Structure 1
Amino acid sequence: AYRPLHVVCTMASCTNVCVIGAGHVGAPHAIVMASKCPKVKFTVVDDDARTIAAWNSGLLPFFEPGMQELLDDVRSAGNLSFTSDFDSAVRTAEVILVSVSTPLKKSGVGAGYAPNLEHWESVARRIAKVAGGPKIIVERSTVPVTTAASMTRVFKSVCSHEVVMLSNPEFAREGSAITDQLSPDRVMIGGPESVEGEASVAVLKALYSSWVPTGRIITSNLWSAEISKLTADAFLAQRISSINAISALCEKTGADVDEVSYAIGVDSRIGRKCLTASLGFGGVCYETHLRNLVYLARMYRMPVVATYWDSVIKMNDYQKRRFANLVVREMFNTVGGKKLAVLGFAYKKNTSDCRFSAALDVCKVLENEQALLVVHDPRVSAEAVGVAFTRDDGSASLVSCEADPYVAMEGAHAVLVLTEWEEFTRLDFKRVYASMQKPAFVFDGRNLLDHKALREIGFKVYGIGKPQPPAETETESAEAAAESAAESQKRAGRILAGAAPKENAAALRAAAERALAQTPASEQPAGGGLERAATFGGMA
């Protein structure tokens, strides 16, 4: 007999949950929930048989600190399973958490900014087809505002059973997902403002209440929950781009960005988090969600809002490009044929994820300059690096991987620190220096290493937003002065060859004489004099 969903919800607590998607969002969340709700059965389903096989083995598909240990504990309890049997998992579940990917569209309207909801709609139709009874469907993937309303229309047109859509955005961070799930800052649940909606929110809230304090569980309407995730990521990315913009100024003025960051971070209105200057932000969330926000603003015809958030992306791109250009410029304006050791390829420490990695963007610029890149990352596989550098034309890449960091740096002209793995700070850099080409460069894109100690060893060191020591600055100033004098010398030659108006000849000749007088004797043309300078100017 038909029973309304709110009646089903109040008659019994949830005993069976299906999680669709065994990736970075779905799997860690399911593992934590299973560990905290031992009386509830959790089934993680994914169409990728290889991924499911990996979850059912001892070699997990990706790395998260603490995940392997917690998964082993949950397996012994027996309330978590991984399967490819979509229909069975959906049919027996009362609550379905959908954690499928929503990448950016590659073509069509909104390409590069709008989310591609193809996977989401496909999953919704598959759920509706095999539901077999009332369901609570929960958005865990980051989706644009009103997605719940669109999916509800799909369910109503295909499914004969009652379905309520909730939004439960994922706020956990890759690299600390297990810790964040075990002790979240907040859990947000958005639902429709109806009897069925309130009852469904109560069911999901009861699951979280098994370990999350009630005061940290926020309930809202659907639209607030959907936009909160985009807003949170946008604000965090904005802070990173803001301090990176200041880092560029610090390098020009001699200020230290770490000192500036500390000074503003102790202000309680600003706070310390996300104020570390670096290559820029990476990973799927920040850039994808910023672009989604830009698309949303454009769709609602708010160009000023769209431009504002788009500028955060542009600043991030500028920072990565600026770092890559620094490497080329300081290595005598050429890296072609030079071995560059790349320490770190994941978009941040404690994860094996290299999607949207800042390291990838920097490496592609240097690869285009014909540098020979050797990548070492303690968690990113050689296969993943190879896929990242796959060329459309099938030609060979100039990038290789090395499991031993010392081998990666042996014979290198420069070391690039692109991910902030703590183990890089424990490397023996005296040994590294002895094995490298000279001069040996270190470009620290994470300000991770002890720059003073490296300089004492003999390295030429460059960081983000860091002043160069006086000796190096003076050398650069002398080089700049010599270049200026040489340019003045050439200009003098052009003047004397008749390139200037005759009425200014006397004044310009005097200026040329002063320029030549400032040029060291060893750098003046053989024979000296203004007439010889004219010949060197190419005009004689």
Structure 2
Amino acid sequence: MRLTVIGTGYLGAVHAACMADIGHEVLGVDIDADKIRALADGRPPFFEPGLRQILTRNIGSGRLRFTTSLREAAEFGDVHFVCVGTPQQRDSLAADLRHVDAVIDALAPHLRRPCLIVGKSTVPVGTTERLAARLTELLPDASAVEVAWNPEFLREGYAVHDTLQPDRLVTGVVSSHADEVLRAVYAPMLEAGVPYISTDPATAELVKVAANSFLATKISFINAMAEVCDASGADVVTLADAIGHDTRIGRRFLSAGLGFGGGCLPKDIRAFTARARELGVDRAVAFLREVDEINMRQRRRTVDIARELAGGTFTGRRVAVLGATFKPNSDDVRDSPSLAVAAAIHREGAEVCLHDPEGVDNARAVLPALRYSPDVSTACQDACLVLHLTEWSQYRKLDPVALAAVVRTPNVLDARNGLDAELWRSAGWTVRALGRPTPGRQPVHVTIPHAAGLGWAAPIDAGRLSLAPK
């Protein structure tokens, strides 16, 4: 089958390459000519494990090409996947659908034959219906073009695996024809036994935002428990292990730490509340406001604990930050909790030196005032404090004895609860971790300033990464 993938960012580039890998002829489309040239050369413009290999293989086979022309896409494709971004609006909590709308408006004039337009971007419920109505206005025979929704459930760092071996496929369709087409697109996955849920578009749209809201809630719940543990002397890791044995709860996403970030969960839960308000059911999802506030408060708590470890002030202190990306196995620094903390510490007078295995270039573009190091040892040279902020696997394997020899003061704050605290303490380090007791330290209740201004009342400014309430 001939497929186009419109939008070749984190979602679209992976989807295009993987659809070619299962045997389809695929044309990737983007208005960014530099990105298209890079992809056509087999060079993904971002880091995603396995993507370069799958790109190269399918470009070489001739099944995968790239273009900037929507006219060419319209002539080529039987199915058009829409994979453009839906960021948070700058002046509200709602999703910005300008890119999605622009695709429909630009593609429609070139459509000359029956086709299926399939959205994969995360959108507010009701978007499919609205886009179908728009096509009716734009096309002389809109009956030949259908709109369906097929939300993505990719995890950055595992996107290739999640596309080729998804844990489920969800499609929102209005006709048996659209259902048959999508079953044909995903035939190899269905033959492998992947669950396939075919439903109406509104339900499919809600599945994605409901899933992200649940995951965000679970993360903020365990981080709220970490805050209680810090005040009471309890251990949040043991707590999570204990409640995680309950099969109704499960252990996944119960890892207390710095909280979630990136280009999905934060903006998706905000957009969900905005859409619920439009539908008159905002009270039904009012709890998501607290989920977001807890998440943002973890950044402030991390800064406060780091300041305490630094002796009460960051002025004149050198601080090493391990991790810039919002999660490991990615170079994505969008709404990165790690960068937010690094920026706040820098603004308070610290000399911050940052290391990240893949995200340094993107971090430097956002925060050029920080220092960046190609290796951990150099980043930690003469530091009075080391912050473990992104849980890259190589950080768990660090030798605390060797690292103690290069720092000025062996203090480490493990904001991801990923280090072996006893191993580091045996090497002479003072170790603090979120929600875990520190030997010899009495729990102290600290009142954290209200965090509404840290991202709920207004969109996160990715350039400023401010933690200060507005």
Q: TM-score, normalised by structure 2?
A: 0.91
Match of 1:86 in 2: 70
Describe how 1:173-212 pairs up with structure 2 within 5 A.
173-192=155-174, 197-212=175-190
Partner Cα separation in structure 1 for residue 289 and residue 66 of structure 2: 39
The Cα of 1:429 is off from its aligned counterpart by 2.2
Q: CA deviation at 1:121?
A: 1.0
Please say if 1:448 is aligned against 2:409: no
User: What amino acid is the match of 2:145?
Assistant: V
Match for residue 460 of structure 1? 430
Q: Distance in 2 between matches of 1:184 and 1:282?
A: 22
Identity of aligned residues (%): 34
2:117 counterpart residue number: 137
- Aligned equivalents of 1:298 and 1:362: distance in 2? 31
Residues in 2 aligned to 1:145 and 1:211: alpha-carbon distance in whole angstroms: 26
Which amino acid in structure 2 is aligned with residue 385 of structure 1? A
Structure-1 residue corresponding to 2:216: 237
Aligned-partner Cα distance in 1 for 2:428–2:417: 18
How far is the alpha carbon of 1:304 from its aligned partner? 2.3
Equivalents in 2 of 1:251, 1:469: separation in Å?
13
Q: What residue is the counterpart of 2:454 in the other structure? A: none
The equivalent of 1:123 in structure 2 is: 103
Q: Deviations over 1:473-508 (max 9, x none)?
A: 4xx99xxxxxxxxxxxxxxxxxxxxxxxxxxxxxxx
Residues in 2 aligned to 1:410 and 1:331: alpha-carbon distance in whole angstroms: 15
For 1:318 and 1:429, the matched residues in 2 are separated by 29
Deviation at 1:215, TM superposition (A): 5.6
Structure-2 residue corresponding to 1:429: 400
Aligned to 2:331: 352
Q: Tell me how far 1:91 sits from its aligned partner.
A: 2.1
Tell me how far apart the structure 2 counterparts of residues 309 and 185 of structure 1 sit (CA, whole Å): 25
CA distance in 2, matches of 1:28, 1:334: 44
C-alpha distance in 2 between matches for 1:372 and 1:430:
23
**Contact 1:190/1:219 (8 A) holds in 2:** yes
For residue 175 of structure 1, report the CA deviation from its aligned partner: 0.9
Q: d(CA) in 2 for partners of 1:214 and 1:378?
A: 36
Kindly state the Cα deviation for residue 48 of structure 1 after the two structures are TM-superposed: 0.7
Checking the alignment, whether the CA contact within 8 Å between 1:344 and 1:421 is kept in structure 2 is yes
Distance 2:399 2:282 in 1: 52
Deviations 1:62-104 (A, max 9, x none): 1112222222322332201122222102222111000011111
Q: 1:340 to 1:173 in 2, by over 3 A?
A: same
**Residue type of the partner of 1:463?**
A
1:364 maps onto 2:364 in alignment = no
Residue 279 in structure 1 maps to residue 258 in structure 2: yes
Q: 2:367 aligns with which of 365, 368, 389?
A: 389
Query: How far is 1:165 from its partner?
Result: 0.5
CA distance in 1: counterparts of 2:43 and 2:322, whole angstroms: 24
Cα separation, 2, equivalents of 1:378 and 1:57: 24
Correspondent of 1:30 among 12, 16, 23: 16
1:402 and 2:373 aligned: yes
2:322–2:354 CA contact under 8 A, matched in 1: yes
C-alpha contact (below 8 Å) 1:64/1:177 kept by paired residues: yes
Cα deviations by residue, 1:278-320 (Å, 9 ceiling, x for unpaired): 1001111111110011102221233422421111000101111
For 2:60, the equivalent position in structure 1 comes to 76
Q: Note the C-alpha offset of 1:55.
A: 1.2
Q: In structure 2, what is the equivalent of residue 416 of structure 1? A: 387
Larger deviation: 150-159 or 275-284? 150-159
- The answer to which structure, 1 or 2, has the higher relative contact order (CA under 8 A, 6+ apart) is 2
Structure 1 distance, partners of 2:66, 2:219, is 37
> Is the aligned partner of 1:218 residue 2:197?
yes
Aligned residues of 1:234 and 1:289 also touching (Cα < 8 A): yes
CA distance in 1, matches of 2:360, 2:238: 36
Question: How well do the aligned residues superpose, as a CA RMSD in angstroms?
Answer: 1.6
Contact 1:295 1:306 in 2 (8 A): no
| Cα distance in 2 between the residues matched to 1:303 and 1:28 | 34
Given that residues 299 and 340 in structure 2 are in contact (C-alpha distance below 8 angstroms), is that contact kept between their aligned partners in structure 1?
A: yes
Instruction: Say whether the 8 Å CA contact 2:119–2:148 is kept in structure 1.
Output: yes
Measured against aligned partners, the alpha-carbon deviations of 1:367-397 in whole angstroms (never above 9, x if no partner) come to: 2211111111001133x1122226xxxxxx2
Q: Secondary structure at the match of 1:268?
A: coil
Assess if the C-alpha contact under 8 Å between 1:338 and 1:412 holds in 2: yes
Comparing 169-178 with 73-82, greater Cα deviation is found at 73-82
Alpha-carbon distance between aligned partners in 2 of 1:56 and 1:314, rounded to the nearest angstrom:
42
Structure 2 letter corresponding to 1:469:
P
Q: Using the TM superposition, name which of 75-84 and 90-99 deviates more.
A: 75-84
Q: What secondary structure is seen at the aligned counterpart in 2 of 1:157?
A: helix
Cα offset, 1:332, TM superposition: 1.8
User: For residue 18 of structure 1, what is the amino acid of its counterpart?
Assistant: T
Instruction: Report the AA paired with residue 26 of structure 2.
Output: F
Given that 1:142 and 1:169 are in contact with CA atoms closer than 8 Å, whether structure 2 keeps it comes out as yes
**SS where residue 379 of structure 1 aligns?**
coil
Q: Are residues 103 and 403 of structure 1, via their aligned partners in 2, closer, same or farther at CA, if it must alter by over 3 Å?
A: same
Kept in 1: contact 2:234–2:435 (CA 8 A): yes
Match of 1:211, SS state, is helix
Q: Is there any run of 5+ residues in structure 2 with no aligned partner, and where?
A: 445-470
CA contact (8 A) 1:298 1:306 kept: no
* Separation (CA, whole Å) in 1 of partners of 2:332 and 2:194: 32
1:336-371 Cα offsets, whole Å, 9 max, x none, are: 121111111111111111111111221222122111
- Among 131, 134, 143, the alignment partner of 1:154 is 134
Counterpart residue type for residue 61 of structure 2 = A
Higher helix share: 1
Offset, 1:125: 0.7
Q: Is the 8 A contact 2:40 2:59 kept in 1?
A: no
Q: Secondary structure at the residue paired with 1:43?
A: strand
